[in-house]
Chains A and B, each alone.
Chain A
Amino acid sequence: MPFTPKPHAALLIVGHGSTENPDSSTPYFEHADEIRNRGLFGEVHCCFWKEEPSMREAGYMIDAEEIYVVPDFISEGYFTQDVIPRELQLEGPTTRRAGKTWHYTLPVGVHSSMTGLLLQRAKEVAPDANPAETTLFIVGHGTGLNQNSTKAIRDQVEHIKASGAGYAEVLDAFMEEQPFIAEWDKLATTPNVIVVPFFIADGLHSYQDIPVLLGIETEPGEAASQREVFRHNPHHLRGKTLYYSSAIGTERHIADVILDQIADFDARLHETR
């Protein structure tokens, strides 16, 4: 669906950011650039939990009176439900304060169009792998801390299975809870395996931690931007052919998911009027 431009509104993309690794905020700036270049909003900005500008400062960069806030996060949870509303002083889906209207959408990761993106990424990373002989893993962090992210991944797995993409198996796996991604070769019964990390950024998890768990690397390597872990596909390991993708959030088309989330928000707003 084409997105109706909003020249009078601002888009504010909220990300996590990192005090250790600048690659962690790169996707947010890229998604912002992509949408800015399409001229769909009067202004496009980013703000962060761990980097500058902070959420409290973000409002000072914005001219527009109507602001769409999109959490560039993979699932609902502590950040989208506690931290962001608190820091941006949001009272619900729409907040009016000091002459400005703030709309708060759902996080990008829970939008149904993520399924298509995951499939596209899997195809790109393993163009010659026959799906009928391939297991697709969607990988998350998985700790007790955020059950929602685990659920978001399980939901995607179900959507992909139902999509008719033809993969022999589609499995969820996690770094720190069962089923463990470290056991990918035992979990998968097919000769080919594709692993897509369900994170926004290529932070330390997808550059360093998961490659070690997979057995591509023996120990965590140097700083992320110097890494080449994604360039050496496929890996012949543990008797299988393994294709490893960068984090799904680094995908350029996340910009479209951001726009989809805004369009859905507007549709809901319209219904309740």
Chain B
Amino acid sequence: MKLAERLSQAIAAGIRRIGQVSIRPDLAGAAYALCHIEDEAADPHSLEIHNGAAAARDISTWAEDGHYRFTKSELSLKRGWILRLSSADELKQALDLFYPAGVGLWMADKDDHLKIEHLRDKLNRQTGMYRFARNLGDAGAQKLVREVCGPSNCCVKKILWQIDSNTPLEDSEASRFDGVVGAFDRQAAIPLLCREACNHFVAEARKASKAENDAKR
């Protein structure tokens, strides 16, 4: 079955959220409507109406304070909009702009098809200027997870990877986070999944690894 069809079935079965986006069937005269989770209770007429999947990119590019949200799982989606979508295909397209591949990753995980990449493998395949990230020690890597990932660092993905296949992440708010924002029924939300460390993490790993190296000298 196509991902969009599975998504519409999941919504029929009660799925209502992904990240900071609320998914609402049959609202505002559209097959599906999306809004910010904190605008769920707002009068739809008070929200700025957008139509079609492509608008999702405009809505999600800038945070309220004007910074560029290059990490889409950043906890900084702006409020005050409603996005009307005409079909399940459009809905999937829009969600892929808000949370790239988020729906597909969740389904692959449910099917046990999600390939996870541990941090060492990710760092070891870096080339060019990021090659140096390979030298980061385990303790440094564990510390970095606490400093870069998790809601208190503004990322709301659930981390699936470990340092390597034998070294799990140490317990912390970041390693414990389950990918669902706020106090909400876990069964009714699509968790955001982190299957391998992101670019931002790798860039920080490179910096930390350089700092470790300088400290040794």
Residues of A within 8 A of B (CB): 17-22, 29, 33, 45, 47, 49-54, 56-58, 60-63, 78, 82-83, 86
With A60-B108, A78-B128, A83-B127: A19-B3 Cβ-Cβ less than 8 Å? no
With A61-B3, A78-B128, A82-B127: A22-B68 Cβ-Cβ less than 8 Å? yes
Task: Fill in one digit per residue for B66-110: 1 if any A CB lies within 8 Å of its CB, else 0.
Answer: 001011110000000000000000000000100011011101100
Q: Across the interface, which residues of B come within 8 angstroms of A63, CB to CB? A: 2-4
**CA separation between A57 and B73, bound complex, in Å?**
14
**CA separation between A167 and B103, bound complex, in Å?**
52
**CA separation between A53 and B61, bound complex, in Å?**
14
Task: Fill in one digit per residue for B46-64: 1 if any A CB lies within 8 Å of its CB, else 0.
Answer: 0000000010010001100
| Nearest CB in chain A: distance from B36 CB, A | 19
Q: Across the interface, which residues of B come within 8 angstroms of A54, CB to CB? A: 196, 198-199
Task: Fill in one digit per residue for B168-181: 1 if any A CB lies within 8 Å of its CB, else 0.
Answer: 00000000000000
Beta-carbon nearest neighbor of B2 in chain A: A63
**CA separation between A60 and B110, bound complex, in Å?**
12
Q: Across the interface, which residues of A come within 8 angstroms of B4, CB to CB? A: 63
Contact A53 B101 (CB under 8 A): yes
**CA separation between A19 and B114, bound complex, in Å?**
26
Among A20, A52, A78, A86, which residue has its beta carbon within 8 angstroms of that of B101? A52
B39 within 8 A of A: no
Among B71, B72, B103, B196, which residue has its beta carbon within 8 angstroms of that of A56? B196
Cβ-Cβ contact count across A and B, 8 Å cutoff: 64
Known: A19-B70, A52-B101. 5 other contacts (CB 8 A): A22-B70, A47-B100, A52-B73, A56-B196, A61-B101
| Nearest CB in chain B: distance from A38 CB, A | 15
B16 within 8 A of A: no
Beta-carbon nearest neighbor of B1 in chain A: A63
Contact B68 A53 (CB under 8 A): no
Task: Fill in one digit per residue for B21-37: 1 if any A CB lies within 8 Å of its CB, else 0.
Answer: 00000000000000000
| Nearest CB in chain A: distance from B187 CB, A | 22
Q: Across the interface, which residues of B come within 8 angstroms of A50, CB to CB? A: 70, 199
With A54-B198, A83-B127: A20-B68 Cβ-Cβ less than 8 Å? yes
Q: Across the interface, which residues of A come within 8 angstroms of B96, CB to CB? A: 45, 53, 61
Beta-carbon nearest neighbor of B57 in chain A: A29
Contact A86 B100 (CB under 8 A): no
Beta-carbon nearest neighbor of A49 in chain B: B199
| Nearest CB in chain A: distance from B123 CB, A | 14
Q: Across the interface, which residues of B come within 8 angstroms of A53, CB to CB? A: 96, 100-101
**CA separation between A18 and B70, bound complex, in Å?**
8
| Nearest CB in chain B: distance from A63 CB, A | 5
B143 within 8 A of A: no
Q: Across the interface, which residues of B come within 8 angstroms of A62, CB to CB? A: 104
With A18-B70, A22-B70, A50-B199: A58-B101 Cβ-Cβ less than 8 Å? yes
Q: Across the interface, which residues of B come within 8 angstroms of A18, CB to CB? A: 70
Beta-carbon nearest neighbor of A52 in chain B: B100
Closest 4 CB pairs of A and B: A60-B104, A53-B100, A52-B100, A57-B101
Residue among A18, A60, A61 with the highest chain B CB neighbour number at 10 A: A60
B195 within 8 A of A: yes
Q: Across the interface, which residues of A come within 8 angstroms of B103, CB to CB? A: 61
Residue among B4, B61, B199 with the highest chain A CB neighbour number at 10 A: B199
Q: Across the interface, which residues of A come within 8 angstroms of B117, CB to CB? A: 56
**CA separation between A86 and B117, bound complex, in Å?**
14
Q: Across the interface, which residues of A come within 8 angstroms of B196, CB to CB? A: 54, 56
Residue among B104, B107, B128 with the highest chain A CB neighbour number at 10 A: B104
**CA separation between A57 and B116, bound complex, in Å?**
10
Supply 19 A–B pairs (Cβ within 8 Å), ascending by A.
A18-B70, A19-B199, A19-B200, A20-B70, A22-B70, A52-B73, A54-B198, A54-B199, A57-B101, A57-B104, A57-B105, A60-B104, A60-B107, A60-B108, A60-B114, A61-B104, A63-B2, A82-B127, A86-B127
B45 within 8 A of A: no
**CA separation between A114 and B46, bound complex, in Å?**
47
Q: Across the interface, which residues of A come within 8 angstroms of B203, CB to CB? A: 19
